[in-house]
A and B are shown apart, each in its own frame.
Chain A
Amino acid sequence: NAGVTQTPKFQVLKTGQSMTLQCAQDMNHEYMSWYRQDPGMGLRLIHYSVGAGITDQGEVPNGYNVSRSTTEDFPLRLLSAAPSQTSVYFCASRYQGGTEAFFGQGTRLTVV
């Protein structure tokens, strides 16, 4: 099993550009989520999904869109990148209920 796979690992965008961060898991987890990590801010929840076709907002959803068409994939879209979105992004998945979350390797995004 590959676990949680995120692509790309690194990305530089210009302000106003759009892009999609990919996340895939092969553990048949119902629950998937996106976090951003900034110095001193910990991991902040952007969006999450409890199953295919169901998504909801987290703590910091503005500027990001998600969709969950399959159990395996949970892409994160930036429609118009801003410098404030410079961060490290982590995708995580887990089984429904209180179980451990598995994280991807992260995507380091810089918006100039």
Chain B
Amino acid sequence: GQQVMQIPQYQHVQEGEDFTTYCNSSTTLSNIQWYKQRPGGHPVFLIQLVKSGEVKKQKRLTFQFGEAKKNSSLHITATQTTDVGTYFCAGLSSNTGKLIFGQGTTLQVKP
């Protein structure tokens, strides 16, 4: 079945450093979504990418969708302590309608 792999599992950075998490799917996706979960909270939607090669920005966050629509990345420039949390990618299968999540990357930011 469809699998979505995400790396790294954990990342510790100094405040001000950059951060990137990568997501790879075993199958072609109709779209990819990114979510953030604060400690003790629930996942909250950040963004959706639909087009091959698409790049979207939200302030210090840059999201990319690969040309083959099988991989994606989230890059945070100059991390802040408010960026702490777990970032998940989720791939939507056009065949089944299932939204399958990656394992998540937990970001810790040292002030």
Task: Enumerate chain A residues within 8 angstroms of B33, measured Cβ to Cβ.
Answer: 98, 100-101
Contact with A along B95-111 (1 / 0, CB 8 A): 01111111110000000
> A103 and B97: CB pair below 8 A?
no
Q: Categorize the interface residue count of chain B.
A: 20 to 34
> B44 and A45: CB pair below 8 A?
no
Contact with B along A3-20 (1 / 0, CB 8 A): 000000000000000000
- The answer to whether A42 has its CB under 8 Å from any CB of chain B is yes
Residues of B at under 8 Å CB distance from A? 1, 6, 9, 30-31, 33, 35, 42-45, 48, 50, 88, 90, 92, 96-104
Q: Categorize the interface residue count of chain A.
A: 20 to 34
Contact with B along A21-44 (1 / 0, CB 8 A): 000000000010101000011111
> B97 and A43: CB pair below 8 A?
no
Q: List 6 A-B contacts (CB under 8 A).
A: A40-B103, A98-B31, A100-B45, A101-B43, A103-B42, A106-B42
Task: Enumerate chain B residues within 8 angstroms of A104, measured Cβ to Cβ.
Answer: 42
Q: In the bound complex, what is the Cα–Cα distance between A35 and B100 (angstroms)? A: 10
